[in-house]
Amino acid sequence: MQVPADVEYERATSVAHALVLLTRYAPGARILAGGHSLIPMMKLRLAQPEVLIDINAVAALRYIELHSIDRAAAELRIGALATHADLLASAAAGGHFPILHDAERVIADPVVRNWGTIGGSLCQADPSEDLSAAFAALKGSMIVHGPDGSREVSARAFHTGPYETVVGPAEMLTEIRLPIRPDSGSAYLKVCRRAGDWPIGAAGAAVWLAGGVIEDVGIGLTAVGAAHFAAAEAEEFLRGRAPSEEAFSQAGEIAAEHCRPAADQRGPVQYKRHLVHELTVRTLRTAVRRARGLDPSPGPAS
């Protein structure tokens, strides 16, 4: 029988209260949100926190909303306690960033999506996590709160390694921010052994067009050993180029060349590089079509 080690339990009622508890018990404390990753790890004794700080009562962290920065700029803000189901149901998220609905439709199953949180998924920092690649493609940022205030961290700097993030022992992720820019499109695809499983390989792409060329682009990769979940070299190749099948194919080749997949029960290295190439091409193609209004974006979950 898998049984966690003994652990103390505290229930936070606000962000400030959670930070007090984290400061009191650090470094032996872990935050409990949905718990779908942490609890299994505790059962296997891969994680043995001394104290669990339950933040599910902090309702102020569960939101998805559009925020105007000034007359010309806006962003989507996602509270760390928003669930996968919340994100899938959000018309604002899917309308501006269809990659998010693409990804959420293939994450786990309805039970996990109803309980699992966006912040928890990101902080777990699993090398095969879907949303990490999606947020890397969108070039979002994370708001981290600690005893000395808050700081903003690029999505691409948030993860420092497998199961490791920049969040300190007395800090917590509170919000994800995604800048809204015109003439944009995005998409996400993954290949897995069965529906809802961890990916064998997955790719997400976001493009921003201007004057008939790709002004900016983000390519996110997961489960294939891509540094910071991104294909930076392929992005650099695409900037300033006109969208074309030839450009997409070359970008896919570059992405496949620079990732570092490992052979395992899900497949050999060459197969995974092949997936990186194909999925990069397909997501770029769909992202550009969506940016041009030629491909329907997925709607909210019914």
List, edge to edge, every strand of the sheet that includes 64-68: 64-68, 74-79, 172-180, 141-146, 149-154
Q: What is the pLDDT of residue 261?
A: 97
Q: What is the pLDDT of residue 196?
A: 78
Asked if residue 174 lies in contact with residue 144, where contact means CB atoms within 8 angstroms, the answer is: yes
Contacts of 82 (CB under 8 A, 6+ apart): 61, 62, 63, 64, 117, 118, 119
Q: What is the pLDDT of residue 1?
A: 59
Instruction: Give the pLDDT confidence of 204-240 residue by residue, as tens digits.
Output: 999 999 999 999 999 999 999 999 999 999 999 999 9
240: its two tokens: 């300033």
Name the stretches of the chain with pLDDT < 50: none
Q: What is the pLDDT of residue 301?
A: 63
Q: Read off the amino acid at residue 208.
A: W
131: its two tokens: 């949303």
Say how many CA atoms lie within 13 Å of 133 toward its Cβ.
35
Asked if residue 56 lies in contact with residue 33, where contact means CB atoms within 8 angstroms, the answer is: yes
Asked if residue 202 lies in contact with residue 112, where contact means CB atoms within 8 angstroms, the answer is: no
Say how many CA atoms lie within 13 Å of 46 toward its Cβ.
8
Asked if residue 64 lies in contact with residue 76, where contact means CB atoms within 8 angstroms, the answer is: yes
